Chains A and B, each alone.
Chain A
Amino acid sequence: MADQNPADVLDTEGPAAPPRSNGELVFEEPWESRLFGITMAMHEAGMFDWEEFRQLLIDEIRIWDGADHAEEDWSYYERWAAAFERLLAHKGFFQADEIQIRADSFAARPHGHDH
């Protein structure tokens, strides 16, 4: 499997080397690690039960598996994001469209200010 890994072209040693777990990047995109970190930090702070999140994640994966998708469109952390948004909505942390409105405002930032 290693020869299919796009991370193989990156530095493997030295300061530019990304963190690795036995030869594979743990996260493929920065947003994945942010999402993971936010979820874990809120769980550590006792804001939800892991099982509650896990059931939503299972459900989101089941929905994806049951729909007609091309395999290359699969993203585990997109399912995680969908499940986490549902969890936060259940907990009443957000109104329904708040995330979309905020994301749209970020998308409208002038070029060069989009990081």
Chain B
Amino acid sequence: MKTIHEHGTPEISLRVEALESLLEERGLINPVAVDRVIQHFEQDVGPLNGAKAVARAWIDPDFKSRLLQDAAAAISELGITVGDNVQVIENTPKEHNVVVCSLCSCYPWSVLGLPPTWYKSPAYRARVVREPRKVLAEMGVDLADDVTIRVWDSSAEIRYMILPQRPAGSESLSEEELIPLIMRDAMIGVANVTLPDKG
């Protein structure tokens, strides 16, 4: 499938390099702007923004209501600009929610950063819609039979983020202590938030 040239450079890598050099010659891109975009997405944008919103929702019920009602407005209270049309869905003991983009890879970049590789894979996109309980179990989320699972299909219009359940035993933790526990996968709905093992 992947063509390798004799010097070991894959075909696709050469095509992208060719694309960039042609665009640059025509003044259609500025390499400095490209570098800046890459650095921004690799280093500045990540799931921390989503984690801050989740931690605040856990400790402040009024914020939680606002977050579920109008995520962009609520998250902006934390000084975070939400560029996407994000809707936050709450996990409860009786209902587990999980996000996919079955057509491509729509994802709330401004709160979760760039999507992980598996989110974009054909297997995840197809299977989580068809057999969510099995896929979740394979990813480490075992749900009791009486827990309803809802699958949310993100699109360019609405990008979903999950508000995971606050882990039992975390009542004494502060907002700052909660934030690092809230991992990206929990906000996609394929993991639960857990407390670190007592060392």
Are A26 and B114 touching (Cβ within 8 A)?
yes
B172 an interface residue at 8 Å Cβ cutoff? no
Query: Of A31, A40, A61, A78, which contacts B41 at CB under 8 A?
Result: A40
Are B33 and A50 touching (Cβ within 8 A)?
no
Are A103 and B46 touching (Cβ within 8 A)?
no
Known A-B contacts A33-B42, A61-B103, A74-B121; the reply to A99 vs B183 at CB < 8 A is no
Cβ distance A99 to chain B, nearest Cβ, rounded Å: 5
Please report the C-alpha to C-alpha distance between residue A5 and residue B113 in the assembled complex, in whole angstroms. Answer: 19
Query: CB-CB < 8 A to B23: which residues of A?
Result: 38, 42, 88, 93
Query: CB-CB < 8 A to B114: which residues of A?
Result: 21, 26
Please report the C-alpha to C-alpha distance between residue A85 and residue B33 in the assembled complex, in whole angstroms. Answer: 20
Interface string of B55-96 (1 = CB under 8 A from A): 000000000000000000000000000000000000000000
Query: CB-CB < 8 A to B106: which residues of A?
Result: 54
Total interface residues on B, CB under 8 Å, equals 53
Interface string of A25-60 (1 = CB under 8 A from B): 011111101111110111011010011001001100
Are B34 and A99 touching (Cβ within 8 A)?
no
Query: CB-CB < 8 A to B139: which residues of A?
Result: 1
Please report the C-alpha to C-alpha distance between residue A18 and residue B171 in the assembled complex, in whole angstroms. Answer: 35
Query: CB-CB < 8 A to B121: which residues of A?
Result: 74, 76
B174 an interface residue at 8 Å Cβ cutoff? no
Are B104 and A54 touching (Cβ within 8 A)?
yes
Query: Of A35, A62, A71, A107, which contacts B16 at CB under 8 A?
Result: A35
Query: CB-CB < 8 A to B137: which residues of A?
Result: none
Query: CB-CB < 8 A to A51: which residues of B?
Result: 156
Are A36 and B38 touching (Cβ within 8 A)?
yes
Query: Of B12, B28, B116, which contacts A81 at CB under 8 A?
Result: B12
Cβ distance B111 to chain A, nearest Cβ, rounded Å: 12
Could you say which of A26, A45, A61 has the most chain B C-beta atoms within 10 Å of its C-beta?
A: A26
A24 an interface residue at 8 Å Cβ cutoff? yes
Please report the C-alpha to C-alpha distance between residue A35 and residue B38 in the assembled complex, in whole angstroms. Answer: 9
Are B156 and A28 touching (Cβ within 8 A)?
no
Cβ distance A47 to chain B, nearest Cβ, rounded Å: 7
* Interface residues, chain A, with chain B CB atoms under 8 Å away: 1, 19, 21-24, 26-31, 33-38, 40-42, 44-45, 47, 50-51, 54, 57-58, 61-62, 64-65, 69-71, 73-78, 81, 84-85, 88, 93-94, 98-100, 102-103, 106-107, 109, 111, 114
Instruction: Supply 15 A–B pairs (Cβ within 8 Å), ascending by A.
Output: A21-B113, A21-B114, A28-B117, A40-B41, A41-B29, A41-B37, A50-B156, A71-B122, A73-B1, A76-B105, A78-B12, A81-B12, A85-B19, A103-B14, A103-B18
- Report, nearest first, the 3 A-B pairs whose CB atoms are least far apart: A102-B18, A37-B38, A22-B184
* Interface residues, chain B, with chain A CB atoms under 8 Å away: 1-2, 5, 7, 9-23, 26, 28-30, 33-38, 41-43, 46-47, 103-106, 113-114, 116-118, 120-123, 126, 139, 156, 183-185
